[in-house]
Structure 1
Amino acid sequence: MNSQVEITEEQVASPNSGTDVVLACRTLRKSYRQGNKELQVLRGVELEVKAGEKLAIVGASGSGKSTLLNLLGGLDTPSAGEVWVAGQNLASLDANQRGWLRNRSLGFVYQFHHLLGEFSALENVAMPLLIGKQSVASAREAATAMLQAVGLGERLTHKPSQLSGGERQRVAIARALVTHPACVLMDEPTGNLDRATAKEIHKLMDRLNNEMGISFVIVTHDPDLAAALDRTLHLIDGALESDWHRGDHV
């Protein structure tokens, strides 16, 4: 008998489980072995992300920002501590359940878009829905609507090689949003773009956040992007330190 936690559609549809927290970690630790030494990367990180919140995580190169993002997304396993997504403790789920939960509750955007070059923009965006067992017709319809929402309604059949850097990143954002996740995790989403294009991506993320109510957790070195978000946290010596909250300055 499978003793693992069963996840229902209702739980994913209402990820807050009675609260407004969509993603959290408790005393999160991560270490790696380097020869005879143990390298401590994260040292008891505590974090709560609320519904609709836009949060920046900043820090020096090598401070563990991407490691933290991978742990929050269930792409890596912590050495200690817990990660909660959509009201579920990832440690209580098997690999299939974690994958199912990620597909429905989280989106991912990286500095390098990681689009599949042999597929069109429409096919790339539809992919998460097809993986989630939606029909081809409904996946194509949803992907078309999301690409239109990010301003690429005229580029549906274009492959990544036929798109500009900004357009490719818009496709990646559309792919992350197409499942209407509770939270999107972004790792340097504008780091590979020129300033003008990055500014357009900033505006796009802000508009989609306002329209869809999706939370964003963004690792960034871009001070303009961090300043435009609701909260900024610094990852220093393996722990998160609060910088400011927009509500404190209104």
Structure 2
Amino acid sequence: MNNTDDAMASHRMSSNMTAMESIPAEAVLQCRALCKHYRQGSEVLHILNAVELEVKAGETLAIVGPSGAGKTTLLHMLGGLDLPSSGRVLLGGDDLATLDDRQRSALRNRKLGFVYQFHHLLGEFSAVENAAMPLLIGGMGKKQARAQAAELLERVGLSARLEHRPAQLSGGERQRVAIARALVNRPACVLLDEPTGNLDRDTADSVHGLLEQLNKEFAISLLVVTHDPALAGRMQRVLELRDGQLQEQTR
């Protein structure tokens, strides 16, 4: 290759890198003109009104707002647990409304994790068995699923609690198991609904720090619904749901 060819190749590489750098981060989860309403007798109750949202890969954001504003309803639709009255939810480019229940469940298991205010662990199973559940549901062999879950539980500080059942764990430990379960499939995004609502301040702060650490380590997007200003303040973006629509808060 002569000097001219080298220069041209270098220019093309530089141009390609510039083009790549200018492309915005891929959205892992989106909703477009999302509406949800319920009929009560002759009246129609509008919960969400043309909500627009885009969650980028690896970003963290919080949704805040008054009680009854529809935050959990929005989270359920983003997670494919409920379908909108109109509008679209796109998970990795797939429109959830176009999938049947089986397809939606399979996609949700692969690409999303869930953490709730109540841990929803299965009492008859150990911590490692609870954390491995999404892998087993996805068809992974028991030995491999257990090993992967155990590794993640060690990451969240529970290496000495693998065989303990939920009743033998503290509230903070149970929530750490729930977080490990949500992350075990390496999902694109984890949806969290008041994840520290039942914890004391010190334990909640510990969980907040853990979420930050895991977001940085695995580059998994976090979308948190919370009333906790301390947790919301740790997120990169904060959006308020009010009168059925989302508005970004300035800092």
Q: Give the structure-2-normalised TM-score.
A: 0.89
Give 1:175's aligned residue. 181
Q: Give the 3-state SS of the residue equivalent to 1:244 in structure 2.
A: coil
Q: CA deviation at 1:74?
A: 0.1
Larger radius of gyration: 2
* 2:59 maps to which of 53, 59, 66: 53
Give 1:4's aligned residue. none
Give the unaligned 5+ runs of structure 1: 1-17, 246-250
- CA distance change for structure 1 residues 96 and 19 in 2, over 3 Å: closer, same or farther? farther
Distance 1:119 1:90 in 2: 31
Give percent identity, aligned residues only.
62
* 2:220 maps to which of 207, 214, 219: 214
Q: CA deviation at 1:19?
A: 5.2
Give 2:195's aligned residue. 189
Q: Give the 3-state SS of the residue equivalent to 1:112 in structure 2.
A: coil
CA RMSD of aligned residues (A): 1.0
Distance 2:212 2:59 in 1: 11
Which residues in structure 2 correspond to 1:145-184 (within 5 Å)?
145-184=151-190
Corresponding position: 1:107 with 2:113: yes
Q: Give the 3-state SS of the residue equivalent to 2:249 in structure 1.
A: strand
Distance 1:19 1:194 in 2: 36
Structure in which a larger fraction of residues adopt helix: 2
Distance 2:82 2:62 in 1: 20
Give 2:101's aligned residue. 95
Q: Give the 3-state SS of the residue equivalent to 1:123 in structure 2.
A: helix
Q: CA deviation at 1:244?
A: 2.8
Q: Give the 3-state SS of the residue equivalent to 1:196 in structure 2.
A: helix
Give the unaligned 5+ runs of structure 2: 1-23
Which residues in structure 2 correspond to 1:1-250 (within 5 Å)?
20-244=26-250
Give 1:5's aligned residue. none
Q: CA deviation at 1:223?
A: 0.3
Point out 4+ residue stretches in structure 1 off by more than 2 angstroms: none
Q: How many pairs does the alignment contain?
A: 228
